[in-house]
Structure 1
């Protein structure tokens, strides 16, 4: 398949990126981050998560963050909803898309949401049904598709099994996630191929963590397969609370630099994206976890 001429990025920084931060991030800062991302040209932003504050205290302000957004035409705002209760709360905030999640690893599913893969899908079925009845698009996140902190390597058959279950309950799009960042290109290719047995190339995306520095290589092999949608996180924010040692998602700035260097259109202004990453990094009192952002910021000083 030929490399796509245009790629769509979903910035998951405000949700996936900030959920593990120990210090509270005020709603106003989260809202400002979303505004800066949309001003940089992002058209898909994962804003927050309607989860129990007991489990994810950082997302306790989900409703006020959604209420505070100045929405921009052409931008889709998504939220994570782990159950019907979360979905009903999310519905009041008018999301354009909801995200449900499942793991390709039984052990991870048990540790993460205290149930088996099959049970997690059963739990999500009414959420998907309710969302689609309300005209809300449903995206599924498939975690641990190449490796798991408890089970080690994950066979492509497990990925295919999960993708089939997601398709079966009506999930419209799935992200193939290397949650702990252990994947290398051929392993990621096999996980993607397993997913493409159930989903069209237009309904899949890559979601890569950069723990071992492989995220850009994994992005490239997916581009070569024709995949044109990816999740990235501004300033490389994020990790996974249930995956020890997992570092952040691949930085949006690094992926945009790669894509622009290949002549692939994104609609994103890299300088404004770097500014958005610097804004949130300054608040968190650390440097952006992006090589491209670091280089461009150094160049500005020089």
Structure 2
């Protein structure tokens, strides 16, 4: 965990399945969604929890880690979850069931094995929608086949320092069946600085275990190279300590002085401080504080990029601090 700390921010491996005889969640009736919930309640009993019974922080955490979709509260279908020690099931969100293994970091093989074992157990009871030519059918056609979806949110401020490096990395990863894109969180007007989303590409592979190994290996290479480039960051970019200290002072003043009123500006300054803290500089705010503020300011409950309640939250936090 320490090895990937502040590089892999979130990760989730999912196996997606749908039950034969029901429409996908996007077009299914509320009545059918209730039937599917009851099917899973019959399997998991009291472990099944309805979405409406989750507290705000739990729901927000699941959205940030790609277990739930951002618009989950707006869906007609009854949505439920099952929490176990090693996995989380989401029911009727994007597919009838998604087997999620959160925070696998660099151990994608283990995550895939756990998800596969859960799927195998469910397959003994449920009849999953499957055809010989298309494989497992999913609401998102890109997931059809194996029904595998892998997400990782990564902080690569040293390795990817300009567009040339970004497009070079993008091209090299696509050859390995991995897609990287700049991360655009909800309500942002611009891409988040230095945050990237990594996803698997292709669900029609002869050997999925081999592909998972390739994905894991490339993630490990990314983390190792980011660590190396962070170590040599100042030398490679010809930056002196005094210059970084000036940047830090500007960002701290923006946050403390109330000059950052939009989500874009708040995040730009907070991620900037997170970056320099990772390089060993005193940023006034601790790493825990920066993560706490980013987590809360990016919450779905704040609508739009320039939300007064979001700004008041930050203002109140600074005042109490």
Q: What is the TM-score when the length of structure 2 is the normalising length?
A: 0.27
Higher RCO (Cα < 8 Å, 6 or more apart): 1
Larger radius of gyration: 2
